[in-house]
Chains A and B, each alone.
Chain A
Amino acid sequence: EDQVTQSPEALRLQEGESSSLNCSYTVSGLRGLFWYRQDPGKGPEFLFTLYSAGEEKEKERLKATLTKKESFLHITAPKPEDSATYLCAVQANNDMRFGAGTRLTVKP
């Protein structure tokens, strides 16, 4: 069965303190790995798609990377507005399977 595990569950950073979020997965025939951002009371917002091991995508202070077993979301010099829950999802043959998310808090 396809599984997606995100760690840590919660992460508190000081403004400017860089860190990484992890998404490990077990799936047969990965078609794509997706990262989303979710703010409280809102729906997830699509950030990146990664299709193959070694691929990287960047957007402002965020960089996503992919290996054959896991993906990392690196956050460089975060700001308070980066506070949100970050969701990872994988797609194999059919539906997109989501992890439980990492709740990121960035303190000024």
Chain B
Amino acid sequence: NAGVTQTPKFQVLKTGQSMTLQCAQDMNHNSMYWYRQDPGMGLRLIYYSASEGTTDKGEVPNGYNVSRLNKREFSLRLESAAPSQTSVYFCASSESHRNYGYTFGSGTRLTVV
């Protein structure tokens, strides 16, 4: 059981570079999420997809874009990376958008220099 798979696990970018973080789940979940985790601030929601074909902004969407490619895959794109985007990024999925706990991936540690 793979659960939620994120790639890459580590990445170093230069300011202004772009990249896409990949996420895939094999649990047939309807909803998928992207969070960032910074020391002392907890997990903050960037974007979510309540169901295939829909995406919505979360608490901190600026500087990011997402694509729900199909039911399994949800990608996060940084068009022009900034040092403030240095963080650990987690993808998560759940059976439904409300009232269910989330299954998280193991994270991507991103450093922007």
Contact = CB atoms under 8 A, between A and B. Distances in A.
A36 B99 CA distance: 14
Max count, chain B CB within 10 A of own CB: residue among A41, A42, A43: A43
A41 B88 CA distance: 9
Contacts of B42: 4, 87, 98-101
Given A98-B43, A100-B40, A46 B103 contact: yes
Interface stretch (B14-22, B78-86, B104-112): B104-112
A96 interface: yes
Interface in B18-73: 33, 35, 40-45, 48, 56, 58-59
A43 to B, nearest CB: 3
User: Which secondary structure dominates chain A's binding surface?
Assistant: strand
B101 interface: yes
A17 interface: no
B43 to A, nearest CB: 4
B43 A87 contact: yes
A41 B101 CA distance: 20
Interface residues of B, number: 26
Q: Which of A96, A97, A100 is packed against the most chain B CB atoms within 10 Å? A: A96
B106 A43 contact: yes
Interface residues of A, number: 25
A8 interface: no
A31 B43 contact: no
A51 B99 contact: yes
B7 to A, nearest CB: 14
Interface of B: 4, 33, 35, 40-45, 48, 56, 58-59, 90, 92, 97-107
Interface of A: 4, 31-32, 34, 36, 41-47, 49, 51, 87, 89, 91, 94-101
Given A45-B104, A91-B99, A95-B45, 9 more contacts: A4-B42, A41-B107, A44-B43, A44-B90, A44-B104, A49-B101, A95-B33, A96-B102, A100-B41
11 contacts: A4-B42, A43-B4, A43-B104, A43-B105, A44-B90, A44-B104, A47-B101, A91-B98, A95-B33, A96-B102, A98-B44
